């Protein structure tokens, strides 16, 4: 379930990520949110899980501040989309053990940011249904993936 590289190995972390990247990611996510009229919080963290950029769109519920950031942190800490954990919970049984972890938010809407085959951070979105949160997060993640490979770091 982990994010894997072309060799099937778990992806490495990389610090090749900066505020301009985070803004590009958040901007694309915000455009997607605004297109649908969804009031959301958008959070972008680096590969150490530290906040680079967070913005709360007008009208977003206050509780989404923590949730968005925690989704992004979870996606970095476990190098996978938080959707993986949401799906596991839905299957029930053994998978409910995930609810006993305290550094993991099992809600769709957190997506790793990949550059040159490495995890450079993550985006977390909260404010609407979790699949809508994920749709907006994906728009943000795609913006980085489509950009030119990083140079000059």
Contacts of 90 (CB under 8 A, 6+ apart): none
Quick count: other Cβ atoms within 10 Å of Cβ 122? Answer: 32
Nearer to its own copies, 98 or 147 (CB): 98
Contact 130, 31 (CB under 8 A): no
CB of 102 to its own copies, least distance (A): 7
- For its own copies, give the closer residue by CB, 68 or 141: 68
Cα 76 to Cα 31: distance, rounded to the nearest angstrom = 23
Give the residue with the Cβ less far from its own copies, 24 or 61: 61
Count of other CB atoms within 10 angstroms of residue 28: 22
Q: Which positions touch its own copies (CB under 8 A)?
A: 2, 9-10, 12-15, 18-20, 22, 37, 39, 46-59, 61-63, 65-67, 70, 74, 76-79, 85-86, 89-90, 92-94, 96-107, 130
Smaller CB separation from its own copies, 15 or 31: 15
Q: Residue 80 Cβ, how far from its own copies at the closest point, in Å?
A: 9
CB 54 within 8 A of CB 43: yes
Shortest distance, CB of residue 15 to its own copies, whole angstroms?
A: 5
């Amino acid at each position: 379930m982990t994010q894997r590289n072309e060799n099937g190995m778990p992806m490495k972390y990389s610090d090749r990520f900066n505020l301009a990247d985070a803004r590009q990611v958040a901007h694309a996510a915000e455009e997607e949110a605004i297109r649908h009229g969804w009031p959301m919080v958008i959070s972008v963290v680096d590969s150490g899980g530290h906040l680079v950029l967070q913005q709360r769109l007008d009208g977003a519920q206050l509780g989404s501040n923590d949730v968005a950031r925690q989704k992004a942190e979870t996606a970095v800490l476990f190098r996978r989309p938080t959707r993986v954990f949401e799906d596991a919970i839905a299957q029930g049984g053994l998978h409910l053990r995930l609810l006993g972890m305290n550094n993991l938010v099992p809600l769709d809407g957190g997506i790793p940011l990949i550059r040159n085959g490495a995890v450079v951070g993550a985006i977390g979105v909260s404010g609407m249904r979790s699949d809508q949160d994920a749709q907006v997060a994906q728009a943000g993640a795609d913006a980085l993936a489509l950009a030119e490979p990083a140079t000059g770091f």
